[in-house]
A and B are shown apart, each in its own frame.
Chain A
């Protein structure tokens, strides 16, 4: 089950990177987010999985696809000039990072020692709500203010004449 969701996530991400059509790339992003939501379910965290689907696959991807449709540019423009050094340099860096990640996970004793223990019960909305409104009320209100500021800022940036 874990392998299935992990493969969905990584396949969506790789397909996004190699996809020429921007709309299809956005749909690959949805696939990847759904895989991540499945991983959250396997981590016994249904609250996070629901939030992932509502906020990422719902709101953010819909906004992204809306902008792609609005700009009416579904294909990537042809390159002005080739940049082989930058392109292959970044591919090399990425391969090195991936190899480093594999090596890090394979050699880490801490990860393995954390792996073997009794697992806690699943997260539910009651404990999350209690923690959120008892311990983090100020941060919660701050996030509400931040969202308002982002909304006003987005409208001010897009609107032609205020």
Chain B
């Protein structure tokens, strides 16, 4: 089949499929796991899925340089998010002695 060949040989549908599946797996890490550090890794996976889709579309729609520029800004923001997020994890561990999101429920009614 034409579509299966396109996916297996690295056409645009293949990249989009990989990006979507990567996003779903990252969302799974956020939803199913309790450790806040694994949830953080899941968020990074979702950001990467968005990057794969962005650069695949940039390549197959004429190789515009703006896609790569946007990718540069996205990873800069991701680095900021990583620094502040991990600082918050360290702060949570200092106050509650845990990295389990189920145990950090002081704001819950």
Q: Would you give the shortest CB distance from A62 to chain B, in whole angstroms?
A: 10
Q: Which of B6, B16, B79 has the most A CB atoms < 10 Å from its CB?
A: B79
Q: Would you give the shortest CB distance from B40 to chain A, in whole angstroms?
A: 7
A93-131 interface mask toward B, CB cutoff 8 Å, 1 = contact, 0 = none?
Answer: 110011001101110100110110101110100011001
User: Which single member of B25, B44, B63, B88 contacts A60 (CB below 8 Å)?
Assistant: B44
Is B87 within 8 A of A154, CB to CB? yes
B66-107 interface mask toward A, CB cutoff 8 Å, 1 = contact, 0 = none?
Answer: 101101110111111111101111110100001110110000
A-to-B contact residues, CB < 8 Å: 1-3, 6, 9-10, 13-14, 16-17, 22, 25-26, 29, 32-33, 36, 39-40, 42-45, 47-48, 51-52, 55-56, 59-60, 63-64, 67-68, 70-71, 73, 76-77, 79-81, 83, 87, 90-91, 93-94, 97-98, 101-102, 104-106, 108, 111-112, 114-115, 117, 119-121, 123, 127-128, 131-132, 135-136, 139, 143, 146-147, 149-151, 153-155, 157-158
Is B52 within 8 A of A146, CB to CB? no
Q: Would you give the shortest CB distance from B41 to chain A, in whole angstroms?
A: 5
User: Which single member of A9, A76, A87, A117 contacts B22 (CB below 8 Å)?
Assistant: A9
Interface residues on B, range: 35 or more
Main secondary structure of the interface of B (DSSP, over half): helix
The 9 closest A-B pairs by CB, nearest first: A120-B63, A2-B10, A150-B80, A101-B20, A90-B31, A157-B87, A154-B87, A13-B25, A154-B83
Q: Would you give the shortest CB distance from B31 to chain A, in whole angstroms?
A: 4
With known contacts A2-B9, A101-B20, A143-B76, A158–B62 Cβ distance under 8 A = no
Is B55 within 8 A of A94, CB to CB? no
Is B29 within 8 A of A123, CB to CB? no
Is B79 within 8 A of A98, CB to CB? no
Alpha-carbon distance A60/B31, docked complex (angstroms)? 22
Q: Would you give the shortest CB distance from B24 to chain A, in whole angstroms?
A: 5
Interface residues of B in 13-57 (CB under 8 A from A): 13-18, 20-22, 24-29, 31-35, 37-38, 40-42, 44-45, 48, 51-52, 55-57
